[in-house]
Structure 1
Amino acid sequence: MPRSSLSRRLPAALRSRRARAGAATVAALVAGTAVFGAAQATAEHSVPRTDKEVPNLALVQDKIKAYYGDTVTADGEHYASPTSNYARQVHGIEAKARAYLSRALARQDARAGKGHAKPALVLDMDDTTLLTYNYELREGFHYTEKSQDAYLASTDMDPVFGMDRLVDWAHSKGAEVFFLTGRKEAQREWSVRNLKNVGYGVPLDRAHVYLKDKEHPPAYLPCGADCTTVEYKSGTRKHIESLGYDIVANFGDQYSDLRGGAGDRTFKLPNPMYYLP
């Protein structure tokens, strides 16, 4: 989903169109992903009192690279390693999700034909189903709409390790799959192409892939073009449920992907690269 980059968490980030968290965002990112843990004084002070309460930006970036197992190809592209601590953590979350879905979908299957809602999964896109790590490193953690458009138009992001298999497996067990992203509507063609090319073998039409359309917001969102992330995502999930689905699981890498209700259970994917309120 469109988001603030690590390097834009300095005061200049306040001009962002998505109300980026500003100078406190690096501290929130670090506390939220346990990079430095509870020792960070900024978890207690929203405005740092001294420089010692602010993590060094370069050191944070180095820790992020180590966590993802930064691998550089001969042509200078950066990729996350499938043996990294990030990959291990993701696989652990996926194992818990699969165990839960096995039970939940079995219960739903037993109720089939008895007037019960059809089970569904809702998944965010960036860093939930598609990994933005290569883009972030190429841009030096400096997100811009222009650079994201150029990247998505020409490059496929890798799937988040194992998520393509989990999604396809859940679909084979009877779950309808919906992608719900904060990417703008103009990025639909690139997004669908990417999902298809990296192995998501589920329906990817407009009825199953929701992008943010600020020019023509859907009538089911009372907040219209001014929705916060939580309003947009929870409102869209409620819309999906109104179509006769029971969202048995909702996946996202940001807490704003998961808040607002409309979903039986949430699964938070790790992401220390950026923070979306």
Structure 2
Amino acid sequence: MSRARLSRRSLALTAAAVTLGATFYGVGAATADNSVPRSDKEIPNLTDVVNEIKAYYGDTVDASGEHFASADSSYARQLAGIEAKATSDLAHALHKGGHGGHGKPAIVLDVDDTSVITYNYELEVGFNYSPASNQAYLDSKNMPAVFGMDTLANWAADQGVTVFWITGRPESQRADTVRNLTAVGYKSAPDTDHLYLKDKVNPPAYLSCGSTCTTIQYKSGTRAHIESLGYDIIGNFGDQYSDLSGGYADKSFKLPNPMYFLP
């Protein structure tokens, strides 16, 4: 993840699961409100918000003090509903289009809080990301798989769907990302042809915005590149609307994340 992407994080409350049109499915929008509060009563109490987030994730602490989300939490149940819808839609797309109707079928996954969950890291740093703390965490720990997403990705691969990842993590975190995805059960190879990280030093030629790309430009431009290689992205998965905006996907699925908002 880049500094620019995460320095603009803001806590957001969980919204209920809703269908967002024919090609956009997931949870309700959590947007940054830039209006100035007129009273302290208009500002959620930060301690209360953190406690609500912990309750939503079913906070579990192990003997070493590590925090984990619970498999029977509201978070896990909400994910299961979205993943069931996605699996049904992907199966329908494969049945309707076959393998190669409009290109080779593919899905795209974001990494943080789409493929792996950052919950423990966020609590460690008090929801205050820094490149140094994030790198230190990734150097020493693996983040768990987001409940059900490894199963969904592996199922898709078994159906002949190619799995790609597009993440805002910097290119310098490639080795950590590959290790983590592999360790927590993603069977598709997250190699250089299937795992795209943000390279501001040597941006790819297919991104006309180069090193100045916004998240939406970077991710949609990379999806356009994937489709130019002969793939049809039948499903795009992310926990931020910036993961999903900009086109180049038949359907997009928004996963829940009340911990931060990235424009």
TM-score (norm 2): 0.90
Q: CA deviation at 1:261?
A: 0.5
For residue 17 of structure 1, what is the aligned residue in structure 2?
A: 4
**1:240 aligned partner:** 226
Structure 1 residue 127: Cα displacement: 0.2
Offset of residue 107 of structure 1: 2.4
Task: Find the partner of 1:34 among 2, 11, 15.
Answer: 15
2:65 equivalent in structure 1: 76
Alignment of 1:1-277 (within 5 A): 1-2=1-2, 17-18=4-5, 20-21=7-8, 25-26=10-11, 29-30=12-13, 33-34=14-15, 46-109=35-98, 112=100, 116-277=102-263
Q: Larger relative contact order (C-alpha < 8 A, sep ≥ 6)?
A: 2
Could you state the TM-score of these two structures normalised by the residue count of structure 1?
0.85
Relative to structure 1, the CA distance from residue 106 to residue 275 in structure 2 (aligned partners, 3 Å threshold; closer, same or farther) is: same
* Alpha-carbon distance between aligned partners in 2 of 1:214 and 1:79, rounded to the nearest angstrom: 32
Give distance in 2, aligned partners of 1:159 and 1:21: 25
Letter aligned with residue 233 of structure 1: K
Shift of 1:34: 2.5
Q: Distance in 2 between matches of 1:148 and 1:264?
A: 33
Give CA deviations for 1:56-111 in whole Å, capped at 9, x if unaligned.
111110000000000011111100000000000001110001111111112232x5
Work out the CA distance in 2 between the residues paired with 1:264 and 1:148: 33
Q: C-alpha offsets along residues 130-185 of structure 1, whole Å, 9 cap, x if unaligned?
A: 01111111222121100110111111110000110100000110111100000000
Distance 2:85 2:15 in 1: 20
Structure 2 CA distance, aligned partners of 1:95 and 1:85? 15
Is this contact kept in 2: 1:108–1:118, CA < 8 A? Answer: no
CA distance in 1, matches of 2:201, 2:39: 43
Amino acid at match of 1:127: D
Q: 1:190 to 1:21 in 2, by over 3 A?
A: closer
Q: Return the letter of the residue paired with 1:78.
A: H
Q: Structure 1 residues 239, 81: closer, same or farther in 2, change over 3 A?
A: same
Identity in percent: 60
Unmatched 5+ residue regions in structure 1? 3-15, 36-41
Normalized per residue, which structure has more helix?
A: 1
CA–CA separation in structure 2 for the residues paired with 1:106 and 1:17: 41
What's the secondary structure of 2:135's corresponding residue?
A: helix
Report the residue type matching 2:15 in the other structure.
A
Change (3 A) 1:103 1:141: same
Runs of 4+ in structure 1 over 6 Å off: 42-45
Number of residue-to-residue matches in the alignment: 249
2:5–2:168 Cα contact (<8 Å) kept: no
Residue deviations 1:209-234, cap 9 Å, x none?
A: 00000001111111111111101100
Q: Is the 8 A contact 2:105 2:231 kept in 1?
A: yes
Structure 1 residues 144 and 21: alpha-carbon distance in aligned structure 2, compared to 1, 3 A threshold: closer
RMSD, matched Cα: 1.9
